[in-house]
Chains A and B, each alone.
Chain A
Amino acid sequence: MPAPPAIQLEGVGLDFGAAPLFRNLDLCIGAGIMTVLLGASGVGKTSLLRMLGGLVAPDYGRVAAADGQSLAGRVAWMGQQDLLLPWATVMDNVMLGARLRGDRVDRGRAGHLLDCVGLSSHVADLPATLSGGMRQRVALARVLYEDRPVVLMDEPFSALDSVTRARMQDLAGRMLAGRTVVLITHDPLEACRLADRMLLMSGHPARLDAMDVPAGAVPRAVDDPGVLAAQSMLLRRMLQ
């Protein structure tokens, strides 16, 4: 994997219909760390992520990698749904990116990644036969197969039950270490477990405030006192 870049937003503005979602937003997303974006629904988290992924262009300002090269082709995406193709096997879903680009598929690597996420006995299964947690693990393996230095995740674990979610956080925290990751969540616990840097998004147009991050390396334990204290503080702040 090439060195993960920092991402710079300069004077970014974006409108949603007639309403301004962002105005003059400046932000630097750190290289090789997990940046967590928190905020209420409708505040524009997903729009920000889509701008980072090149799925929407900002109306004003610019979004660029700090190393001066284009971000295109360096980003992997993980959405709110697992977005698995129901007609393709687990293995084929993992290798989807290669198929869509016309690259040679690497079954060995896909198999290894499925092994890493604990699905080596399900390579030939169809997504419909898997549980929600297993499906998100396939989606994670698909992200890892892309092997991109930047990973954008839009509430990837929000549909999972809390136990499965905690396991997925451990797995994602470990597997994505060293990449430039932006994770959107509305779950304070998830933010406190995974964030190297935490940004709270609020208001119209949206403002970003840096929050204190608990000590310790990502992924932090669910019962870490620092994590739990930070979580309750964060929740109190979000309730204001």
Chain B
Amino acid sequence: MTVMTGSSAMRLLRPLVTLAGLVAVWAALARWGHVPPYMLPGPDAVARAVWTQRAQLAPAALTTLEETLLGLALGIGAGSALAIGMAVWAPLRRWVMPMVLLSQAVPVFALAPLLVLWFGFGMASKVVMAVLVIFFPVTSALGDGLRQTEPGWMDLARTMGATRWRVLVHVRLPAAMPSFASGVRMATAIAPIGAVVGEWVGASSGLGFLMQTANTRFQTDLMFAALAVLAAMTVLLWWGVDRLLARALYWQPRHVDVD
């Protein structure tokens, strides 16, 4: 049974309540858990660090955000192009799909040092990293969507004397959009991870770089502050993308909770 649950205010409030609960547990652990502050700083200390270190955190977050957005744009573009190519031209699918699958067997994080070696300490290696982690979800989501076009629509299009490309543009691609959207949502959630892992291995700025240096200097509160900023950034980015996709898929039923 599907039911609409609560107003939009409740929808916003619920995750905040959950978050507050988790922060309370964290605060209790830091305060009464006999954990030294250099291992687990309390939420108050982290909040203080976010404020006092804002001059370091802001540019670092901006760098990571840039890498993430560039990675998303390129990864979604390349992933979509490959999925469409494989859908319209079967030989491409037969020849390339095994390689795409194989590439997923290689842990992308193990490639990070190589990428830094090839693309340098700058932004390029992190963007490539982000592209690599999101490429597969996007390609496979759009590819699945394109392959599962309602057979009745294809029959209808054939009797109408449709051309291949027009069927792709007017029927198959729009029909694949919900599937594509879930690929993009997933990509949005994991792209920042790609960028940050790239920064860990070798970088001169970014949240991952900041975490790394804070860690070696035992500035655990700064490390947690960077983590908090990264989490907030990812959530905001995901929320923005989700809203954008919901608007683009105006014809889809609204999200409902399923009991």
Contacts and interface: CB of A to CB of B under 8 A. Distances in A.
A100 B163 CA distance: 6
A55 B158 contact: yes
B253 A146 contact: no
A79 B174 CA distance: 21
A86 B166 CA distance: 17
A62 B205 CA distance: 72
Contact of B163 (A73, A83, A85, A101): A101
Nearest to B157: A100
Given A73-B161, A86-B251, A96 B155 contact: no
B166 A126 contact: no
B152 interface: yes
Contacts of A80: 152
B146 to A, nearest CB: 15
A131 B160 CA distance: 25
Contacts of A128: 251, 253
Interface residues of B, number: 23
Nearest to A86: B251
Q: How large is the interface on A (under 10, 10 to 19, 20 to 34, 35 or more residues)?
A: 20 to 34
Given A86-B251, A96-B170, A126-B251, A101 B153 contact: no
B156 A101 contact: no
A25 interface: no
A53 B159 contact: yes
A87 B180 CA distance: 15
Contact of A96 (B160, B163, B175, B251): B160
B158 A54 contact: yes
Interface in B130-158: 150, 152-153, 155-158
Contacts of A101: 160-163, 166
Given A79-B152, A128-B251, A55 B162 contact: no
Given A81-B152, A85-B153, A87-B251, A75 B170 contact: no
A102 interface: yes
Nearest to A72: B161
A146 to B, nearest CB: 7
Nearest to A127: B251
Interface string B183-224: 000000000000000000000000000000000000000000
Nearest to A81: B152
Contacts of B177: 87
Contacts of B153: 83, 85
8 contacts: A55-B155, A55-B158, A55-B159, A80-B152, A87-B250, A100-B157, A100-B160, A100-B161
Interface of B: 150, 152-153, 155-163, 166-167, 170-171, 174-175, 177, 250-253
